[in-house]
Amino acid sequence: MKTPDPQRTAKADRPANALDPADVNAKTLAIDIGGTGLKAAVLDGDGEMIGERVRIPTPSPSPPLAVIQALAGLVAGLPQYDRVSVGFPGVVRRGKIVTAHNLGQEEWKGFDLDLALTAQLGKPVRVLNDADIQGLGAISGQGVEMVITLGTGVGSSLFEEGRSFAHLELAHHPFRKGDTYEEQLGNAALEKAGRKKWNRRVGIAMETLRTLTNFDHLYFGGGNAAKIDIELPADVTVVSNDLGLRGGLWLWRDRTPGSTEIYRAGDR
């Protein structure tokens, strides 16, 4: 299938985005775009996977249309779905990409991923930062909760009483010895420094973030979270990397009673 040019697709060509966000019978295609892998699964109304999760390597290089074509092929054999949630490794605002440090910053900047995938897949799409989506799947909705994802890069999200703060690119903020969090804790740093030294850095980051946010609970997710082997306090938890997909269900639901939706793709 030819990938439509999102810059030439009229807003009026979108499928109607009138699905009830609370429709428990709707099936959600959850997509997780990573620096090294693209993952997808179809979720039922409880966030359980229907069938198997599928994964392929992220195209290299990774311009937008190459990623969209790869995703179209990846999901072609999955069960039927009604709507799509996408986790993206960078800042996303109303479906448009602001930053994409691990995919190719200049080509992605300003790209309307929401519109492009809506045109490609023919279903309503909502896009959010991947750490925010993992957070939606992990948090309890009580107090201040922080999520840090450790993978190709480092992702972060922060919530209070289940509501998301504006996304912060903590990964690219100074951390220690003149390096950013990503330079000290990303996958390249893990491979260079080794697991023991990397784990010590994780411990330092954990306490630095405690001072910064006064979190009630911190969750570590992402592909490298399973490599954490330091002793963690009771208010810090390692969560399954599958939450990067399962959390996509919450893009279509209120997280807390009485709150506004975290994302309104159809209101643009």
Q: Which residue segments constitute the domains of the chain, with CATH numbers given?
A: 25-132+244-267 (3.30.420.40), 140-239 (3.30.420.40)
Residues with Cβ within 8 Å of 197's Cβ and at least 6 positions away in sequence, in order, are none
User: What is the pLDDT at residue 10?
Assistant: 32
Highest mean pLDDT among 23-32, 50-59, 98-107: 50-59
Task: Name the pLDDT band for 24 (thresholds 50, 70, 90).
Answer: low
Of residues 242 and 60, more confidently modeled: 60
User: Among 218, 241, 123, 122, which residue's Cα sits nearest to residue 170?
Assistant: 218
Q: What is the pLDDT of residue 9?
A: 37
Q: Which pLDDT score is estimated for 137? A: 87
Strands in the chain per DSSP E = 28-33, 37-43, 49-57, 83-88, 92-93, 96-97, 125-129, 144-150, 154-160, 163-164, 174-176, 179-180, 217-221, 236-238
Please state the pTM of the whole predicted model. Answer: 0.79
The pLDDT tens digits for 171-230 are 899 999 999 999 999 999 999 999 999 999 999 999 999 999 999 999 999 889 999 999
